[in-house]
């Protein structure tokens, strides 16, 4: 198995790509953390291969990018 240095903590490049799409959309559309979390949940449910998107470490990276002021509750 080839080592993969993930930007978001995902297991695969495809997973990183999926997260990147969600992060960019969330930033462009100025989604709240709740909106972003909902999109992450839907993505994980639709594609079990990227289920690690709901891992705490991955969520923390996404939260930092989408909510840089940390003014929204992380635990929803």
Q: What is the pLDDT along the chain (76 residues), one digit of tens a residue?
A: 456 678 999 999 999 999 999 999 999 999 999 999 999 999 999 999 999 999 999 999 999 999 999 999 999 8
Quote the pTM value: 0.91
DSSP 20: H
Q: Can you give the residue ranges of every domain in the chain?
A: 13-66
Token digits of residue 40? 């992450």
Conformation bin of residue 16: beta by default, left when phi > 0, alpha when psi is -120 to 50:
alpha
Instruction: Give the DSSP letter string of 48-70.
Output: GGGGGGGSHHHHHHHHHHH-TT-
Conformation bin of residue 70: beta by default, left when phi > 0, alpha when psi is -120 to 50:
left
């Amino acid at each position: 198995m080839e080592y993969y240095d993930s930007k978001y903590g995902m297991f695969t490049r495809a997973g990183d790509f999926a997260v990147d799409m969600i992060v960019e959309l969330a930033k462009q559309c100025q989604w709240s953390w709740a909106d972003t979390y909902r999109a992450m949940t839907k993505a994980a449910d639709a594609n079990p291969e990227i289920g690690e998107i709901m891992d705490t470490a991955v969520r923390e990276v996404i939260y930092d990018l989408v909510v840089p002021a940390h003014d929204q509750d992380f635990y929803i």
